Structure 1
Amino acid sequence: MEVVWAYRFEFLSGLWWTVRLAVVSALLALVLAFIAGIARSSRSRWLNVPATLYVEFFRGTSALAQLFWLFYVLPYLGIDLTPFECGVIGLGLCFSAYGAEVVRMCIDAVPQGQLDAAAALNLGRAQTLRVVVLPEAMIMMMPLFNNLLIELIKATSLVSLITIPDLAFQAKSIISKTYQSGAVLLVTLVMYLLISLLVSSSMRKLERLLSRGRRLGSDR
């Protein structure tokens, strides 16, 4: 494990890039997922059809191809993005398409009785969505978002192919210098695992926090 200690700063640098990329792209994916998911569950064709095309395109194409297109093709169109911006946008667009289906499914899973109660209280469609539907749907979304977030973290390794010095990039660089792949890859796997475990723990705590109000209401 001497090689790991000798290149500890490279590992830490790669870890920082991976975490930063995952956080920013996850935030972008979350915002786009809610916009597209709510539009997908809308009765309006002006909202539903564009959202469906968006989801099917980014869900049905390769994340790596999307990253390559942003990194290699956009400059020919006069749009120059940094590698980090390409990584964030590519991962955000790709995983927002999967997240949009989670949002749509959970919104549709809200019991009809709650919608009827909102209608009886004369709540408008937007108010019903904000006050009744989304708080209930958010609880159902958490386990699914947890899985998607872990998949996004693992997918950050793709950005090493567009010159971002993330954890996977640093691991390949260290292996090419030392030819000691065993220890380097083991430490890399452990780092990815620790990030995933931390994310899963945080998401479970958030799920319990969101569920607290419903439990308190059922106890009364």
Structure 2
Amino acid sequence: MDVIFENSWQLLDGLAVTIQVTLGAAVVALLMAFTAGLGRLSRFRTVRVLSVCYIEFFRGTSALVQLFWLFFVLPFFGVTLSPMIAGIGGLGLCVGAYGAEVVRAGILAVPKAQIESAAALNLSSAQMIWHVVMPQAVRIMLPSFGNLFIELLKISSLVSLITLQDLTFQAASINAVTLRVVPIFTSVLVLYFILSMIINGFMRLLERRFNVGIEPGIAR
């Protein structure tokens, strides 16, 4: 394990980059998920079509190729992105497309009786969405979003292929010099697992927070 201690600062630098990419991409993914998810339910056909095009394109193409396109292809069109921006943007757009379906399904899962009751109270569309639909829909969405964020953490290692010095990149660099494969990649495996457990714990806390006052077994 001496190789780990000798290169601990390099691994910690990579860990910090991995956390930064994951958090940044999660913010982008949430924004795109709610934008496209609500867009799919819009009464305007153009908005629905644009939302579907975004969702199907990013779900139907490789996340790695998307990153390569943003980082290596865009410069040919006069747009150059830093590895960090390309990594956060690419992963956020990709995961956001899957999140959009979670948002759509969560909203559709809200009982119609709730919406009819809100309409009977003469609530506006905006009031209905934010005070009646969203509180119930978010509670339904949280478990799926937890899974998506863990998947986001795992695919964040792809940014090492666009020269971003994340945890995987640093581990590969250390291994290239020391050739100590087992301790290096075992340590990295453990670090990814710890991060995923932190995400899982945080999402469980959010679920408990949103389920306050809801009795177990009651349909939501």
The TM-score with structure 2 as length reference comes to 0.96
The alpha-carbon deviation at position 213 of structure 1 amounts to: 4.5
The alpha-carbon deviation at position 147 of structure 1 amounts to: 0.2
Would you say the 8 A contact 1:118–1:128 is kept in 2?
yes
Q: Runs of at least 4 residues of structure 1 off by over 3 A? A: none
1:177 aligns with 2:177: yes
SS in structure 2 of the partner of residue 21 of structure 1 = helix
Q: Distance in 2 between matches of 1:186 and 1:41?
A: 45
1:102 aligns with 2:102: yes
Q: Distance in 2 between matches of 1:208 and 1:194?
A: 21
Matches of residues 42-121 of structure 1 in structure 2 within 5 Å? 42-121=42-121
**Residue ranges of structure 1 left out of the alignment (5+ in a row):** none
Would you say the 8 A contact 1:63–1:90 is kept in 2?
yes
Q: How many residues align?
A: 217
Q: Distance in 2 between matches of 1:214 and 1:128?
A: 20
Paired letter, 1:127: Q
Give the percent of matched residue pairs that are identical in Structure 1 and Structure 2: 49
Deviations 1:42-97 (A, max 9, x none): 23212211101110001110000000000001111111110000001100100000
The alpha-carbon deviation at position 25 of structure 1 amounts to: 0.7
Would you say the 8 A contact 1:71–1:162 is kept in 2?
yes
Would you say the 8 A contact 1:67–1:90 is kept in 2?
yes
**Residue ranges of structure 2 left out of the alignment (5+ in a row):** none
Please give the root-mean-square deviation of Cα atoms over the aligned residues, in Å.
1.3
SS in structure 2 of the partner of residue 212 of structure 1 = coil
SS in structure 1 of the partner of residue 145 of structure 2 = helix
Deviations 1:100-149 (A, max 9, x none): 00000000000011011011111122221111111100001110000000
> 2:3 aligns to what?
3
Would you say the 8 A contact 1:41–1:107 is kept in 2?
no
- More helix per residue: 1
Would you say the 8 A contact 1:26–1:152 is kept in 2?
yes
